């Protein structure tokens, strides 16, 4: 016989709250003052993590992200560092160890574009993109892995000894004329991520990638700010809308949580179908 609600001693079920899948975890999100990084830092705070908000230039925006995370009842602070600089990265991790004690999740998100036709691309444009997008991910991952190996699994926090999410792009797969430095950096991120994932998986460290397509952020304003540009962009997106930073942030929460514990060395494409090569729908 079914029990009446009163028999449970509580006529109304408790209000449903979103599960805090990252409760008690310490996260570092690079490039978190705007765009995808900002959305991930906020979603991590909502999911119960304490968050270091790394930024390179915009202190005010970074502080706003920090304030919003604190309003969720989590700890957060902003830290300026250029991820392409070894000393900056070392200092960022030393401070995190001092303030938070450890790191459970690294999101290697900081990235930039310096576009030019190939024959006009300067060495400094090439180096700037490889430096931040690829070398920056190496430097941060190296620090995080060192701490994950030292600490090992903390069962009350996560079943894994640490998680790294490497922000890639659909351009780890789709060649991109006029952006050879960017595409090369993301192809590099993909193979660094997979090689590292293979190396550290036996230590219960999970390394994965996210490859966003066109997401409405400052990096690609030209692709969506006019009606004409937006219509052209939609010809590349079977799902017929641009992505929002939150589309990526929700996936990052899942990849960082124990819900994805058997996901190792994978790249999650979040692109509305951009990598389905929509040009072939009616041709080829």
- Choose, by CB under 6 A, the member of 220, 230, 258, 263 that binds ligand BGC: 220
Query: Per rule CB under 6 A, is residue 181 in the interface with ligand BGC?
Result: no
Query: Per rule CB under 6 A, is residue 61 in the interface with ligand BGC?
Result: no
Identify which of residues 220 and 244 has a Cβ nearer to ligand BGC in the complex.
Answer: 220
- Does residue 218 contact residue 58 with C-beta atoms inside 8 Å? no
Query: Per rule CB under 6 A, is residue 128 in the interface with ligand BGC?
Result: no
Question: What DSSP character marks residue 243?
Answer: B
Length of the chain: 284
Identify which of residues 77 and 277 has a Cβ nearer to ligand BGC in the complex.
Answer: 277
Catalytic residue set: 182
Identify which of residues 30 and 158 has a Cβ nearer to ligand BGC in the complex.
Answer: 30
48 CB contacts (<8 Å, ≥6 apart)? 20, 21, 22, 23, 24, 25, 74
**Percent helix, strand, coil in the chain (nearest 5)?**
50, 15, 40
* Structure token pair of residue 203: 């230590």
- Does residue 255 contact residue 264 with C-beta atoms inside 8 Å? no
**Structure-token match 């090689």, residue found:** 195
Q: Which stretch binds ligand BGC (CB under 6 A): 14-22, 80-88, 219-227, 254-262?
A: 219-227
**Structure-token match 């992200």, residue found:** 65
Query: Per rule CB under 6 A, is residue 137 in the interface with ligand BGC?
Result: no
Q: What is the closest distance, in whole angstroms, from the C-beta atom of residue 214 to ligand BGC in the complex?
A: 4
Rounded Cα gap, residues 109 and 43, in angstroms: 14
Is 84 strand, coil or helix?
coil
- Where are the extended beta strands (E) located within the chain? 26-29, 50-55, 76-80, 105-108, 162-167, 205-212, 267-270
Query: Per rule CB under 6 A, is residue 234 in the interface with ligand BGC?
Result: no
* Structure token pair of residue 96: 């995190």
- Choose, by CB under 6 A, the member of 169, 185, 208, 267 that binds ligand BGC: 169
Q: What is the closest distance, in whole angstroms, from the C-beta atom of residue 163 to ligand BGC in the complex?
A: 22
Query: Per rule CB under 6 A, is residue 267 in the interface with ligand BGC?
Result: no
Q: 94-123 mask for ligand BGC (x: CB under 6 A)?
A: -------------------x----------
Scanning residues 188 to 217, which ones bind ligand BGC (CB under 6 A)?
A: 213-214
Identify which of residues 189 and 205 has a Cβ nearer to ligand BGC in the complex.
Answer: 189
Q: How many CA atoms lie within 13 A of 41 on its CB side?
A: 35
Q: What is the closest distance, in whole angstroms, from the C-beta atom of residue 32 to ligand BGC in the complex?
A: 16
* Structure token pair of residue 21: 């899948």
Rounded Cα gap, residues 44 and 199, in angstroms: 26
- Choose, by CB under 6 A, the member of 43, 89, 170, 256 that binds ligand BGC: 170
Q: What is the closest distance, in whole angstroms, from the C-beta atom of residue 172 to ligand BGC in the complex?
A: 9
Identify which of residues 26 and 171 has a Cβ nearer to ligand BGC in the complex.
Answer: 171
Residues at the interface with ligand BGC (CB under 6 A) = 113, 169-171, 213-214, 219-220, 223
């Amino acid at each position: 016989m079914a029990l009446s609600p009163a028999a449970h001693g509580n006529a109304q079920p408790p209000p449903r709250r979103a599960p805090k899948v990252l409760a008690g975890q310490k996260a570092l999100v690079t490039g978190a003052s705007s765009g995808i990084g900002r959305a991930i830092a906020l979603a991590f705070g909502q999911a119960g993590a304490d968050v270091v908000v790394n930024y390179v230039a915009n202190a005010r925006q970074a502080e706003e992200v920090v304030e919003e995370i604190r309003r969720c009842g989590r700890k957060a602070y902003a830290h300026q560092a250029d991820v392409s600089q070894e000393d900056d990265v070392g200092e960022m991790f030393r401070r995190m160890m001092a303030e938070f004690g450890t790191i459970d999740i690294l999101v290697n998100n900081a990235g930039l574009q310096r576009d030019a036709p190939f024959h006009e691309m300067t060495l400094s444009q090439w180096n700037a993109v490889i430096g931040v997008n690829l070398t920056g991910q190496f430097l941060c991952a190296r620090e995080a892995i060192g701490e994950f190996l030292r600490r090992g699994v903390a069962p009350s926090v996560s079943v894994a000894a640490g998680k790294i999410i490497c922000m890639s792009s659909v351009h780890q797969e789709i060649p991109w004329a006029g952006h050879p430095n960017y595409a090369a950096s993301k192809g590099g991120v993909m193979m660094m991520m997979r090689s590292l994932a293979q190396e550290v998986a036996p230590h219960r460290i999970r390394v994965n990638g996210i490859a966003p397509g066109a997401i409405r952020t400052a990096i690609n304003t030209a692709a969506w700010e006019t009606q004409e540009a937006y219509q052209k962009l939609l010809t590349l997106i079977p799902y017929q809308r641009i992505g929002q930073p939150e589309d990526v942030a929700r996936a990052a929460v899942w990849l960082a949580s124990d819900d994805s514990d058997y996901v190792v060395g994978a790249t999650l494409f979040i692109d509305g179908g951009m990598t389905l090569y929509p040009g072939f729908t009616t041709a080829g």
